[in-house]
Amino acid sequence: MARLDGIELESSYGAKEYERLLLDRGWRLAQLRLALGGKLGNVGPGPGLLVLFEGWDASGKGGAIKRLVAPLDARHVRVVQYGTPTPDEKRHFYLQRFVDRLPGHGGMAVFDRSWYGRVLVERVDGLATTEQWQRAYAEIIDFERSLHLEGIIVVKLWLHISSDEQLRRFRARERDPLKRWKLTDEDWRNRERRDAYASAVEEMLERTDTAWAPWHVIPANSKKFARVAVIDAVIDAIERGCLLAGFPLPPDPARPDPA
């Protein structure tokens, strides 16, 4: 069975449960972020944290990123969006444009899209040669392994929605004058090639899922469920990564009642 076909997409939360989980998870994430930044106790900075968001068009990446960083001090996280490479960026090795935005020790960065464009959109749309996107798997694995060895925790998220749910969201954007700008002709063209993209995603998940940078496939038909699942995945990655690095983290007590 294909990896995407095995994902249960109908999980959801009620409004009250969703708000409670966001508060609880957000408190723990803020605590861990301060610990990584060396802001708790007498321990210095911990590992860097890099969160990569990939997913279908209209899968809710923007909303999930918004909820992920909402509990954090804006000075302690960098959010970067990546689109089509500029003409100047195309003159260089495709990984180069990401390097300057990587987090240092104790830092955190969130990438909305990433170097996986080489084996997804650039592959499907013919923007990279077959030789280029085929060799990119090994290049990406080596690059992420280098980041891991340098002390960066790499969290990779694929937000997965069904074809029917994607179409429903596209139609909703068409009807909303404040969201219509999000829907482009390219989105419709990509939808027409969904089967080709699905094959590319399956190969990406299979070939670049590593012990040092595993993939987390997030069921995203329900935006509420996806947002909590994203925060859970990041918290789990921080806790496991710091355990492996021998970096002490504060315990996870119950969230204190707001003053």
Domain ranges of the chain: 4-245
Write down the CATH superfamily of domain 4-245.
P-loop containing nucleotide triphosphate hydrolases (3.40.50.300)
Quick: pLDDT tens for 192-243: 999 999 999 999 999 999 999 999 999 999 999 999 999 999 999 999 999 9
Q: Is 67:231 a contact under the CB 8 Å cutoff?
A: yes
Determine contact, residues 70/227, Cβ cutoff 8 Å. no
Rounded Cα gap, residues 110 and 122, in angstroms: 21
Phi first, then psi: give them for residue 61, nearest 5 degrees: -60, -45
pLDDT digits (tens, 9 = 90+) for 129-159: 999 999 999 999 999 999 999 999 999 999 9
Whole-model pTM: value is 0.95
Mean pLDDT on 116-123: 97
Give residues with Cβ within 8 angstroms of 10, minimum separation 6. Answer: 219, 221, 222
Burial class of 40 by CB neighbour count within 10 A (0 to 12, 13 to 18, 19+): middle
Q: Which amino acid is at 204?
A: M
DSSP code, position 52: E
